Chains A and B, each alone.
Chain A
């Protein structure tokens, strides 16, 4: 699935938050959107997935205008994990993941055997299969984050949009989630667009990076080309050095000492 967005303008009420945004997402790639808090990353994500109407510009999915998609048709191509989400606390893990099958079902049907299989697969892939009988309130923040990712996976989308999928996760689960994303991307060719705050992880897993600053695209390209000392200063006002270590594919970011 390819996504082509041109001249997007998005806002809330009277304020324009994102303007003149061109984004091109290639088939089967991992694209990461980075930028400071409030720069408009989530807003762009919402506009690309039709959760929010854009004021100007156009979005095409595989050359088809985003507005022309049926709701369920779109939900079968595009899965979204919003930055903030909530479910009734007594919903069971497997039931929540089961909601990922909604775009494939008519309003009166329950899960078919096929649906059950996919739900099991999604739970196993994200490592929440063992807690499938637990309710959401019994999961830790990190566990519930993985349950939500499983829900998106159960949608079997061609491309999934993850808004800060690693929030709440400890470092081992962060890395594990990144590995999971990479694995899903490599093995099933699923396209990924995500918002990350950890730039080292972005450097390592992304095929492309888009930098957003104050609602405008600052730069876009291969990770090493985009994440530079100059960008770090101009976008984040942070001094750092980009260090290449022997035997590693991606460089590291060495921030200037805090004190």
Chain B
């Protein structure tokens, strides 16, 4: 009995250590990200002048430009990772990611349509995006359902839906070249020019979504044992699946509405989290959330500093780094379970 409590504490300890390390990294990244940029001040200078009384240009840059962007990156990274982690359990496939299987594309489709039809709906844009993402989820299921979820069919139909919706958004672009920039923003996820206004919108939705995702831990774990086993353990499998998908779609859609489509976060981050703390969502979900914040902030900081005088959208940075990294992990670990 005694050894068991000790061992149990070991598992919790491991997760806590990983979380603390990731949070420290996050704090460092925030400081670095606030300091680097086209204005070219040193970290010391930045820190000193930001906390000075009165107004000065450094303070304006940091508080009005960099800080909201940093916080947005943190929220978006956390949300996309959590969304991916939940999708992977629901779809019984570690390759599921809102970006690659069309959930984000659904959100982008709905959001860009609304934006073109009724400009100025930015406040409730996340809700429309959510409707689009939920619809995409539903489409994926109805195409892949065959008496149960088949992990391979899910991915295949997701990829198909992704390209159809991508084509639709491209068409919108062609037809509306005058209001192109708004639509284009959804295609390449970017945090460029985001301010406190976007942060406030996103914060509400993401925090609701992230809290809801913690309600999903037990059912996400049970779904990993397969539908039949989960059902025989008293889990309402269909209801859980709908709830988990909805939370996941909600999180992904909120980020899309504000920053456009950013792929691979929801794919790579839960994978690394699994390597760090295992597949148990009690540990894996919190670690994914913090790690996701780390990675997206890092990617955005790299994107806006690596080429002087030019900003590379964070979506592109993620795709360039995320794709190969994922392939590497796939080969190394072969970490597929289930079928």
Residues in A lying within 8 Å of B, measured CB to CB:
12-13, 46, 49-51, 71-76, 78-80, 82, 84-91, 95-96, 99-100, 102-103, 107-108, 116, 120, 133, 155
Contacts and interface: CB of A to CB of B under 8 A. Distances in A.
B233 A75 contact: yes
Contacts of A73: 234
Given A85-B226, A89-B337, A91-B279, A155 B218 contact: no
B83 interface: no
B7 to A, nearest CB: 7
B231 interface: yes
B225 A90 contact: no
Contacts of B339: 86
Contact of B218 (A50, A90, A102): A102
B127 interface: no
B279 A86 contact: no
Contacts, number: 77
Contact of A102 (B147, B215, B224, B233): B233
Contacts of B221: 99
Interface string B190-222: 000000000000000000000000010011011
Given A13-B147, A116-B1, A85 B228 contact: yes
Interface residues of B, number: 27
B241 to A, nearest CB: 14
A6 to B, nearest CB: 22
Contacts of B224: 87-88, 91
13 contacts: A12-B147, A13-B147, A50-B231, A72-B234, A85-B226, A85-B229, A87-B225, A87-B337, A96-B225, A100-B233, A103-B234, A107-B215, A116-B1
Nearest to B228: A82
A48 to B, nearest CB: 11
Contacts of B274: 90
Q: Which of A73, A78, A80: most chain B CB closer than 10 A?
A: A80
Contacts of A99: 221-222, 225, 229, 233
B253 to A, nearest CB: 24
B177 interface: no
Contacts of B228: 46, 51, 80, 82, 85
B338 interface: yes
B76 to A, nearest CB: 27
B271 to A, nearest CB: 12
A133 B232 contact: no
Contact of A86 (B1, B4, B236, B337): B337
Contact of B232 (A12, A80, A84): A80
A170 B315 CA distance: 53
B4 A116 contact: yes
In order of increasing CB-CB distance, the 3 nearest A-B pairs are A75-B234, A88-B279, A72-B234
